[in-house]
Structure 1
Amino acid sequence: MGKPNGFIQYTRIENDWIDPKIRLKNFEEMHVLLNDEDRRKQASRCMNCGVPMCQSAIKLAGMVTGCPLHNFIPEWNDALYKGQYDMAAWRLLKTSSFPEFTGRVCPALCEKACNCISMEKDYSNGKDIKDPVTIHDNELYIIEKAFESGYMKPQFPKVRSGKKIAVVGSGPAGLAVADLLNRRGHCVTVFEREGHVGGLLMYGIPNMKLDKKIIDRRVDLMKAEGVEFVVNVNVGVDKKADELLEEFDAVALCCGAKKARKLNVAGEDSMGIYPAVDFLTAVTKEVVKGAQPFSLGDMDPRDKHVIIVGGGDTGNDCTGTCVRLAAANVVALEMMPKPPVERAENNPWPQWPKVLKTDYGQMEVIATQGEDPRVYKTTIKEIYQKDGHVTGVKTVQVEFKNVDGQRKLCEIEGSEKELKADLILVAAGFLGAEEYTAKAFGTEMTQRGTVAADEGKYKTSVEKVFACGDMRRGQSLVVWAIAEGRECAREIDRFLMGYTNL
């Protein structure tokens, strides 16, 4: 531990936001990184505590805090503080396949478990030391420093096994599977149905949150290391499952969970209603092409009244995207009640903090419209249309009640309102994986609409076919997809090398 009193001497300073009025003019990334000296000070706040909760994913009260990748956080924070940048990168990359992704889009489960949060005010100088270490920002700084310095070079396995693996899907889980199996010495081919590698990272996350050049940089590195990528091939449609099973020694299904949830209300068949990810995908394709103006057709939010259904990360991404594309007005409907600003007594550390979070999209609407776009405890009851196109909605407030011993979502009588709407984006979650790939391979499905695979083993009901990431666990975070991809790669390696009985 380089600085025993760093967490007392320095207060938490995060990467700063670019002003909304400036960043709204483009789709560039939104943060300004700290300089070297200030970043090292932030790293010095990591106190190398006896039990570092940050690096152990612990499930408490139904939610996880701590890093699913089990990163060696105190170790690389210490190296960063000492200016040992290569050492910091070496320790970080031992457990994290793509810190340049998680350092941008992860909600920092590690920070929610940081022991600094459990501290009281320092009795000697009155400083508030309860803010967690900037683990998320430190991680990003380390990996970007590694790319900048030339530390990130292609690494080649000393021996090739001759075993061939097909990875179906090039999202975070698929890339993690491919990365580890290639490093192990196997020959990996990744199949992607879209024209660009990246899956959710490429098309489900806006460019201002994760610049697509960052994905290309990592993919180019993986190509140099021997991973083969095949795009514009839809396995189960363009490429038969039987062909892959005959040609490859193992297959990893990493196709995500893109089956969107519907609203199930009258008028949902109107034009002008789209799944959120379809909208984000269309915009990203235009951004990557460098097209101006964008060719979004009926999805174009310019000068439209937009309603976004869903208050999660995807809904927020739609909010920020619509503001950039000059929507006339944005309203985001959230069924759940507004969270408290501070932790409730029944939500103590190190549980996940169930508190109000105002993300970049909401910040930008506040800056342009003058108010938070979120409307809580509200959902759509009916959709109005004219000539087949959406014109507005009837909303209703809802709340959870105990009905016949069960917790049910109930409408609040007399709470209906009408809102104008020219475009509705549904970000209400997903119902699981698209079935056609699983059906092509004959794998069993769960009641949740995911591919059935053994917990911890990732084996499906079909010999030599494995599944991981959102396709197995359901809609989740990028960091969980990477963690599952790494674990799945180890199980495939054990299978290929005959270690199945260990």
Structure 2
Amino acid sequence: MEIARKDALSKDPSERVQDWREFGVRLPDSELQQQGARCMDCGIPFCQTGSTTPNGKALGCPVYNLIPEWNDLVYRGKWREALNRLHKTNNFPEFTGRVCPAPCEGSCVLGLIDKPVAIKSIEQAIIDKGFEEGWVVPQPPESRTGKKIAVVGSGPAGLAAAAQLNKAGHLVTVFERADRIGGLLMYGIPNMKLEKGVVERRVKLLEAEGITFVTNTEVGKDISAEEIRGKFDAVILAGGAAKPRDLPIEGRDSDGIHFAMDYLHADTKSLLDSGHADGNYITAKDKHVIVIGGGDTGTDCVGTAIRHGCATVTQFEITTRPPEMRADSNPWPEWPGVYKLDYGQEEARAKFGDDPRQYEVMTKQFKADKKGRVKELHTVQIRWVIGDDGRMKPEEVEGSARSWKADLVLLAMGFTGPENPLPEAFGVEQDTRSNVRARYGDFATNIEGVFAAGDMRRGQSLVVWAINEGRAVAEAVNKWVMR
């Protein structure tokens, strides 16, 4: 009531695009304590409910962070106690504090009458201060059970499961097909949003606690499922759901059209390997870039293309432009589906003068030059109407056809499920969306001793839900191996 919301500082968009360093800057401790004071001691802290509405909208924090407690501890200057509270529920607050969209803030009670508490900024500050002060140290288990657990996939779900099972005294081995541990944390999120030293710092900590990491190994290809099952008492499939949604229209086979994750992965690997000196990435320099699709991945493509030095960048959204304020159909405490500029759009506006997003646009054709390289896109505007079945469907607007110059097209339209051969290798059942079939709670697949969690089980989701599932599957596996 007395203190205005203040988020973590951010470098000027025009300056931060000159390098690949994180663009966030922590507020001074005194200001963070003031931000903690905005937490209202409300009767029911919806911020930590961690549930969903019947229509799938997120409510509060999926890992049930004790948000009011550590807000108050920060307000009182008890940072180490706040860190202990934070680690009770969240294995990796340095990740969620940077890349989670903060559904907790969307459900903050203060958000009913004012801007919500800056929960995400405070969370990141707590864990960063913990590392700086030397409070975060390896804590290996005092004894071992002798049980061996294999975790396939080193994203947030796999890492959370590994961390919890290791704490229980089991011998955990994590298999990763890439050359570095972290899954999408490492190669799916650009460095300016999550510096890879932050990921590597946590991985080294987990190694010091006794977890074994095996890289450059694709289970089901480099090592068989039978061998894995023969060596371990239980297996957790946490390989994510990174099969990209394609756009099979005329001209799709033109050169210069890439899936967003291929673009982002190659860029980060080249940056880490050589500072981009090896040239082993898809450059946007001096190119007219079209990003098809919104969401975090689309934003990351926009920010990456700008840092490459693109000539222009445009982002197509098939959805309608969100309203400035909550719609009546989107009440608190649901996640607010309102118009906002994420970091990539801020940077595009600073460089090119406007938000790069074009709404209600449907791409109809890619057109290539004589060498087979994409040179333009053809689109139409659409409007959303109610179909005969009662569902919303796109309807083309007559006379809205348009062409767009394009040298590089990035497809960021989401994901359709897990990539094979992992599910097939283990013979696990998959649902109609190709996700591994395993009930939340026990996480058991149809194959004895094989469990599934994270995006591979639930479909593409937030990092905070991946941590939720990683922790929960660890509990289920612990009960199963110790039965």
The equivalent residue for 1:94 is 88
The equivalent residue for 1:237 is 221
State how 1:51-70 maps to structure 2 within 5 Å. 51-60=44-53, 61-70=55-64
304, 310, 313: which is aligned to 2:296? 313
43, 46, 51: which is aligned to 1:50? 43
SS of structure 1 residue aligned to 2:243: coil
In 2, the alpha carbon distance for the partners of 1:54 and 1:211 equals 27
For 1:19-41, what per-residue CA distance to the aligned partner results, in whole angstroms no more than 9, with x for missing partners?
A: 01210110100011111111111
State how 1:75-114 maps to structure 2 within 5 Å. 75-114=69-108
SS of structure 1 residue aligned to 2:81: helix
277, 284, 309: which is aligned to 1:301? 284
In 1, the alpha carbon distance for the partners of 2:436 and 2:276 equals 40
1:70 Cα deviation after fit: 0.4
**Residue 392 (str. 1) matches residue 370 (str. 2):** no
* Cα contact 1:23–1:30 (8 A) shared by 2: yes
Letter in 2 for 1:325: H
1:46 Cα deviation after fit: 1.0
* Cα contact 1:168–1:174 (8 A) shared by 2: yes
State how 1:349-428 maps to structure 2 within 5 Å. 349-386=332-369, 387-407=371-391, 408-428=393-413
SS of structure 2 residue aligned to 1:415: coil
Letter in 2 for 1:266: E
- Give the 3 Å change call, closer, same or farther, for CA 406–50 of structure 1 in structure 2: closer
1:406 Cα deviation after fit: 4.2
State how 1:317-328 maps to structure 2 within 5 Å. 317-328=300-311
> Can you give the 5+ residue segments of structure 2 that lack an aligned partner in the other structure?
none
The equivalent residue for 2:420 is 435
State how 1:13-28 maps to structure 2 within 5 Å. 13-28=6-21
The equivalent residue for 1:125 is none
192, 199, 204: which is aligned to 1:208? 192
The equivalent residue for 2:65 is 71
321, 325, 345: which is aligned to 1:342? 325
In 2, the alpha carbon distance for the partners of 1:468 and 1:58 equals 17
In 2, the alpha carbon distance for the partners of 1:399 and 1:167 equals 45
State how 1:125-140 maps to structure 2 within 5 Å. 130-140=114-124
For 1:233-267, what per-residue CA distance to the aligned partner results, in whole angstroms no more than 9, with x for missing partners?
A: 11000000000100000000010111110112111
In 2, the alpha carbon distance for the partners of 1:329 and 1:296 equals 22
In 2, the alpha carbon distance for the partners of 1:379 and 1:471 equals 29
1:291 Cα deviation after fit: 2.4
In 1, the alpha carbon distance for the partners of 2:347 and 2:36 equals 30
Letter in 2 for 1:258: A
In 2, the alpha carbon distance for the partners of 1:108 and 1:292 equals 32
The equivalent residue for 2:474 is 489
For 1:142-192, what per-residue CA distance to the aligned partner results, in whole angstroms no more than 9, with x for missing partners?
A: 111111111101112122000000000000100001000000100000000
In 2, the alpha carbon distance for the partners of 1:101 and 1:294 equals 28
In 1, the alpha carbon distance for the partners of 2:226 and 2:148 equals 15
For 1:179-218, what per-residue CA distance to the aligned partner results, in whole angstroms no more than 9, with x for missing partners?
A: 0000010000000000000001000000000000000000
Letter in 2 for 1:152: V
**Residue 266 (str. 1) matches residue 250 (str. 2):** yes
* Cα contact 1:309–1:379 (8 A) shared by 2: no
150, 160, 167: which is aligned to 2:144? 160
In 2, the alpha carbon distance for the partners of 1:224 and 1:19 equals 38
For 1:455-499, what per-residue CA distance to the aligned partner results, in whole angstroms no more than 9, with x for missing partners?
A: 22111111000001110111111111111100010000010111x
Aligned length in residues? 480
Letter in 1 for 2:395: C
4, 13, 26: which is aligned to 1:11? 4
- Give the 3 Å change call, closer, same or farther, for CA 292–202 of structure 1 in structure 2: closer
The equivalent residue for 1:476 is 461
149, 158, 165: which is aligned to 1:181? 165
1:400 Cα deviation after fit: 2.4
TM-score when normalising by structure 1: 0.94
TM-score when normalising by structure 2: 0.98
In 2, the alpha carbon distance for the partners of 1:225 and 1:214 equals 17
The equivalent residue for 1:332 is 315
1:293 Cα deviation after fit: 4.0
Letter in 2 for 1:308: V
In 2, the alpha carbon distance for the partners of 1:478 and 1:79 equals 25
For 1:379-417, what per-residue CA distance to the aligned partner results, in whole angstroms no more than 9, with x for missing partners?
A: 210010122211111011122223322422222222110
In 1, the alpha carbon distance for the partners of 2:334 and 2:154 equals 32
In 2, the alpha carbon distance for the partners of 1:291 and 1:351 equals 41
- Give the 3 Å change call, closer, same or farther, for CA 441–270 of structure 1 in structure 2: same
The equivalent residue for 1:122 is none
**Residue 195 (str. 1) matches residue 195 (str. 2):** no
Letter in 2 for 1:468: A
In 2, the alpha carbon distance for the partners of 1:72 and 1:165 equals 29
SS of structure 2 residue aligned to 1:431: strand
In 1, the alpha carbon distance for the partners of 2:220 and 2:384 equals 41
SS of structure 1 residue aligned to 2:136: coil
Q: Which runs of 4+ in 1 moved over 3 A?
A: none
127, 142, 155: which is aligned to 1:143? 127
RMSD over aligned Cα atoms: 1.1
SS of structure 1 residue aligned to 2:404: strand
SS of structure 2 residue aligned to 1:188: strand
1:328 Cα deviation after fit: 0.5
SS of structure 2 residue aligned to 1:435: coil
* Cα contact 1:309–1:428 (8 A) shared by 2: yes
* Cα contact 1:316–1:359 (8 A) shared by 2: yes
SS of structure 1 residue aligned to 2:21: coil
* Cα contact 1:275–1:425 (8 A) shared by 2: yes
Letter in 2 for 1:430: F
* Cα contact 1:283–1:294 (8 A) shared by 2: no
For 1:279-329, what per-residue CA distance to the aligned partner results, in whole angstroms no more than 9, with x for missing partners?
A: 0000100111242446146x2110011100001110000000000000001
For 1:47-88, what per-residue CA distance to the aligned partner results, in whole angstroms no more than 9, with x for missing partners?
A: 221110000023235301200000111111111111111110
- Give the 3 Å change call, closer, same or farther, for CA 423–377 of structure 1 in structure 2: same
